[in-house]
């Protein structure tokens, strides 16, 4: 009997393990088998608990599998959560980077605006300076400022420092020649004209070597103030005054463009070398300086000579006085001017 039971259980297990569903009809079938054999009540009482146990085992197995699935799903969910967190962190990092770049762009924009404002400011300053320069360039010296009233020291080239006279109202102009009366003789030798002579507070000539060094160091303007015995004042102005070296006998190299009220009586002297009573570099048969009693840039001989003999009465019938031919409309050389002042300053060119 026990053997039969084992066979039945084995049979049942095979059915169960083959994938059959353990349900009541199946058990009923077993009941029938058992009844045929005459062990119905006994067999059932022995087998049923086993079958039920097996069913329970199967259910537990299914639950375990479900639990395992749930566990796997939970793991997957956790992994997705981790991935999501990672992605969120990445997005945050990118947002932060974008914000930083935004800030950087803003800062650069602000810098550009500041630079632009600075540029506008510089441009305004340049325009203002240009206006000042234009004013400086066009400004004429008032006739009331006839006498230079300032003295300061100057140094140029290898020459010892020397005193120069300037207009305190226009301190950039320094005086290179002045005639106010006949107290200083201008009929002098080459060496005097080279080095300068006279009294810088009165009648004087600054010296050709200084003129050369000053005007070769940078371009200079020349401003000539003139006055006659009647008190009429006029001026002549040139924008590029340059005296050559002693090797060229201090040739009047250039004077530039003329402007002024006295007319241009110097243009015909451009290219003339300097002549003194002891050094004749003019084109006349004789020595013009000896004849006119003063050194100048003569040709054969002159259209102007501001270093000629001084005449208090403002007149010389011999036409040898301090002359500026274009002073009068008819080039009257009997007029001898009673005040001259030649000034130079660095040009803006
Ligand atoms: Ca000559």
pLDDT in tens for each of the 349 residues of the chain?
555 555 555 555 555 544 444 444 444 554 555 455 556 666 677 777 887 888 888 888 888 888 999 899 999 999 999 999 999 999 999 999 999 999 999 999 999 999 998 888 888 887 777 667 655 655 666 555 556 667 888 888 888 889 888 877 777 889 999 999 999 999 999 999 999 999 998 999 999 999 999 999 899 999 999 999 999 999 999 999 999 999 999 999 999 999 999 999 999 999 999 999 999 999 999 999 999 999 999 999 999 999 999 999 999 999 999 999 999 988 999 999 999 999 999 987 6
Rounded to the nearest 10 degrees, how much is the dihedral formed by the CA atoms of 107, 112, 113, 118?
A: 130
Residue 282 and residue 271 in contact, taking contact as beta carbons nearer than 8 Å: no
pLDDT the model gives residue 112: 93
Q: What is the pLDDT of residue 6?
A: 58
pLDDT value at position 19? 43
CA atoms within 13 A on the CB side of 135: 7
C-alpha span between 3 and 238 (Å, rounded): 147
* 315 C-alpha to ligand 1 centroid (Å): 26
Count Cβ atoms below 10 Å from residue 211 Cβ, excluding itself. 28
Report pTM.
Answer: 0.62
What is the DSSP code string of 17-37?
A: HTT----HHHHHHHHHHHHHT
Q: 158-211 pLDDT, tens per residue?
A: 888 898 888 777 778 899 999 999 999 999 999 999 999 999 989 999 999 999
Q: How far is the CA of 132 from the centre of ligand 1 (A)?
A: 46
- Residue among 326, 238, 250, 311 at smallest CA distance from 282: 250
Tell me which DSSP letter residue 146 carries: -
Distance 271 CA to ligand 1 centre (A): 15
From the number of C-beta atoms within 10 Å of its C-beta (0-12, 13-18, 19+), residue 91 rates as exposed
Instruction: Give dist(CA 162, CA 210) in Å, integer.
Output: 10
- Cα separation, 125 vs 108, in Å, equals 25
Is the CB of residue 344 less than 8 Å from the CB of residue 208? no
Judge contact between 340 and 332, C-beta under 8 A.
Answer: no
Distance 301 CA to ligand 1 centre (A): 8
Q: What is the pLDDT of residue 146?
A: 54
Classified as helix, coil or strand, 194 is helix
At 35 the pLDDT is 52
CA–CA gap between residue 348 and residue 339 (Å, rounded):
28
Distance 175 CA to ligand 1 centre (A): 29
Q: Report CA(249)–ligand 1 centroid distance (Å).
A: 13
Q: Give the pLDDT of residue 55.
A: 83
Distance 187 CA to ligand 1 centre (A): 16
Element (H, E) at 8: helix 2-17
CA–centroid distance, 135 to ligand 1, in Å, is 43
Q: How far is the CA of 323 from the centre of ligand 1 (A)?
A: 19
Q: How far is the CA of 295 from the centre of ligand 1 (A)?
A: 12
Q: Look at residue 249 in the predicted model and tell me its pLDDT.
A: 98
Distance between Cα 308 and ligand 1 center (Å)? 17
The alpha carbon of 274 and the centre of ligand 1 are apart by a number of angstroms equal to 11
């Amino acid at each position: 009997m026990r053997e039969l039971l084992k066979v039945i259980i084995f049979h049942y297990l095979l059915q169960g393990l083959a994938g059959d569903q353990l349900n009541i009809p199946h058990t009923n079938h077993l009941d029938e088998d058992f009844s045929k054999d005459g062990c119905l009540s006994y067999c059932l009482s022995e087998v049923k608990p086993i079958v039920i146990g097996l069913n329970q085992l199967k259910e537990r197995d299914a639950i375990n599998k479900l639990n395992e699935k749930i566990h796997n799903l939970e793991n997957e969910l956790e992994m997705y959560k981790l991935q999501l967190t990672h992605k969120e962190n990445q997005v945050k990092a990118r947002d932060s980077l974008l914000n930083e770049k935004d800030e950087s762009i803003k800062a650069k924009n602000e810098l550009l605006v500041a630079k632009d404002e600075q540029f506008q400011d510089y441009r305004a300053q340049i325009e203002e300076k240009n206006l000042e320069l234009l004013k400086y360039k066009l400004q004429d010296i008032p006739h009331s400022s006839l006498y230079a009233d300032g003295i300061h020291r100057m140094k140029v080239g290898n020459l010892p420092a020397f005193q120069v006279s300037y207009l305190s109202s226009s301190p950039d102009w320094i005086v290179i020649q002045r005639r106010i009366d006949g107290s200083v003789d201008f009929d002098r030798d080459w060496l005097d004209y080279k080095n300068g002579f006279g009294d810088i507070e009165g009648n004087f000539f600054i010296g050709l070597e200084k003129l050369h060094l000053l005007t070769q160091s940078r371009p200079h303007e020349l401003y000539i103030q003139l006055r006659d015995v009647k008190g009429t004042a006029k001026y002549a102005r040139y924008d590029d005054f340059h005296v050559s070296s002693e090797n060229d006998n201090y040739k009047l190299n250039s004077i530039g463009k003329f402007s002024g009220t006295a007319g241009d009586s110097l243009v015909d002297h451009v290219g003339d070398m300097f002549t003194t009573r002891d050094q004749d570099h003019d084109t006349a048969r004789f020595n013009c300086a000896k004849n006119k009693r003063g050194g100048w840039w003569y040709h054969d001989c002159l259209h102007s000579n501001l270093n000629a003999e001084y005449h208090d009465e403002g007149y010389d019938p011999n036409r040898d006085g301090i002359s500026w031919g274009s002073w009068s409309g008819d080039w009257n050389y009997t007029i001898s001017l009673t005040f001259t002042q030649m000034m130079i300053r660095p040009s803006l060119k």
